[in-house]
Amino acid sequence: MADDNHETVPTPATLAQVEAAFKALTGKELKVIDRVGQTLAWPGGSAGLGWTFEDLRQEAQTRTLEGTRRWYPGEVDFVRHLAGAMRSIASEWRRRGRRWPRQLGDSMDADTDAGAQARGLRDESLSAEEAMIRREAASAELKRLRALFADDEGVSYILMGIEDNLGRAEIMKASDMTLKEYDAARNRLTRATARSKQAGGRT
Amino acid sequence: MNRKRDPDEHLEALYDELIEGALSADEATLDAMLRAEGRDPTEVVAGLRVAFDTTSRNVRTRRLREAKAQHGRSVSRLREHQQALPASPEARRGLLDRTLRRSAEAREALTLQHRDFRQMTDEDVTGLLAQLAALGALPPDEDPEGSGGER
């Protein structure tokens, strides 16, 4: 009997497809990747817990080529895949308080805790003190952005709305912003975030 | 009423929103952002192409480079063991003979490769002894200089 509810299983890209996708990245796509990576960079300050866009880019590419972070071409385009990979790596490093030294496990299944444990990597989960440092760093960055944009109504609404768990449409509606105004405010915020990191400032 | 996010969640959600902005931005906006940061869009693109190519090459050749390094380590280990073997070919053959008499396992492995030990060259004997030494299969009380000759 035919299964009407048959779902197609997503197929991960082959190594050849991944390599071809890297080579085929256009100038615009490379600029998008740069922008995403600059946004996610984290200076880390004196605690030495930071990473650069280059760290994120290299790690995302390596995991994709090694297949520990798989790309499903039928599900998501390649640039979005790379952005998602950098996003989850940055989040993982923030959660662990620092990035894993790659030399400890060159082909590690770094997207999973199980993979790290299987390779005997030390547990870099945040201690209570490190978690506090991280929370303070996040607070400091938000405080800096709020101060920087105190006179910018659009950006202030975005910051406030995200804090209140609102989606984009809700923020726009509640603040009477058009899509164009919202995008412009978000771009100002993006520029401010990246600038502080390039200058090596504490975020 | 929506629950207010803590600073950590707030920042993560903010980054998600900024990433969405980057993904949907047009090229002119991306260029303007780069220029505002004092960066040349053409140079950024060229630099990224080189960086992606370099990482691809490094990942592709990693297995080979690791295998080469491993081979180098094995060769140096064998060389070290070779230096500790008896000086004369006769003493080395004697040592091999005594080792094989003590180890049935080594004898069996060797018989598969060399049906007739007498046809082995001096180089074969030295290489084999070095491998056995690396495996820790030489008799523990063996005099490396082979001065005792046949026992």
Please state, rounded to an integer, the average pLDDT across all residues of chain B.
82
Q: How many angstroms separate the CA of residue B54 from the nearest CA in chain A?
A: 10
User: For residues A62-74, b (16+ Cβ closer than 10 Å) or e, as one string?
Assistant: bbbbbebbbbebe
What is the SS3 assignment for A164?
coil
Query: Which residue of chain A is at minimal alpha-carbon distance from B23?
Result: A32
Confidence of residue A184 (pLDDT cuts 50, 70, 90): very high
What tens digit of pLDDT does each residue of A39-75 get? 998 876 545 567 889 999 999 999 999 999 999 998 9
User: Residue A42 forms beta bridges with which residues?
Assistant: A51
Query: Which residue of chain B is at minimal alpha-carbon distance from A164?
Result: B4
Residue B37 vs residues A26, A83, B32, B44: alpha-carbon distances, Å: 21, 21, 9, 12
Taken in order B28, B34, B35, B36, the sign of the CA dihedral is: positive
**Contact (CB, 8 A) for B48 and A34:** yes
Q: What is the CA radius of gyration of chain B?
A: 32
**Encoded tokens for B61:** 């050749």
- CB–CB of B19 and A194 under 8 A? no
For residue A159, list chain B residues with Cβ-Cβ distance below 8 A: 14
* pLDDT(A12) > 50: yes
What tens digit of pLDDT does each residue of B64-90 get? 888 888 888 888 888 887 777 888 888
For residue B45, list chain A residues with Cβ-Cβ distance below 8 A: 27, 30-31
Query: Which residue of chain B is at minimal alpha-carbon distance from A53?
Result: B48
**Encoded tokens for A80:** 């979005």
What tens digit of pLDDT does each residue of A85-143 get? 999 998 888 776 554 444 333 333 444 444 444 333 444 566 777 777 778 878 888 99
For residue B29, list chain A residues with Cβ-Cβ distance below 8 A: 187
Q: What is the pLDDT of residue B22?
A: 96
What tens digit of pLDDT does each residue of A27-42 get? 999 999 999 999 998 8
Q: How many beta-carbon pairs under 8 angstroms link A with B? A: 132
* pLDDT(A175) > 50: yes
- CB–CB of A34 and B17 under 8 A? no
**Contact (CB, 8 A) for A100 and A110:** yes
pTM higher than the cut 0.80: no
Q: What is the pLDDT of residue A119?
A: 37
B29 touches chain A (CB under 8 A): yes
Taken in order A73, B23, A172, B29, the sign of the CA dihedral is: negative
B33 touches chain A (CB under 8 A): yes
For residue B11, list chain A residues with Cβ-Cβ distance below 8 A: 138, 141-142
User: For residues A33-59, b (16+ Cβ closer than 10 Å) or e, as one string?
Assistant: bbbbbbbbbbbbeeeebbbbbebbbbb
What is the SS3 assignment for B133?
helix
> In one letter, which amino acid is B75?
V
Q: Which residues of chain B have pLDDT under 50?
A: 146-151
Q: Of B2, B41, B56, which is closest to A19 when you measure between CB atoms?
A: B56
For residue A189, list chain B residues with Cβ-Cβ distance below 8 A: 14, 18
Q: Of B19, B27, B55, which is closest to A83 when you measure between CB atoms?
A: B19
Q: What is the pLDDT of residue B148?
A: 44
- CB–CB of A87 and B16 under 8 A? yes
Distance (Å, whole) CA A85 – CA A66: 13
Best interface-test mutation with B: which of A162, A166, A188, A202 has the largest number of B CBs within 10 A? A162
Q: Which of A1-15, A144-158, B21-35, B49-63 shows the lowest per-residue confidence on average (mean pLDDT)?
A: A1-15
Q: What is the pLDDT of residue A126?
A: 64
Confidence of residue A5 (pLDDT cuts 50, 70, 90): low
Summarize the confidence of residues A1-12 as an average pLDDT: 69
Q: What is the pLDDT of residue A103?
A: 36
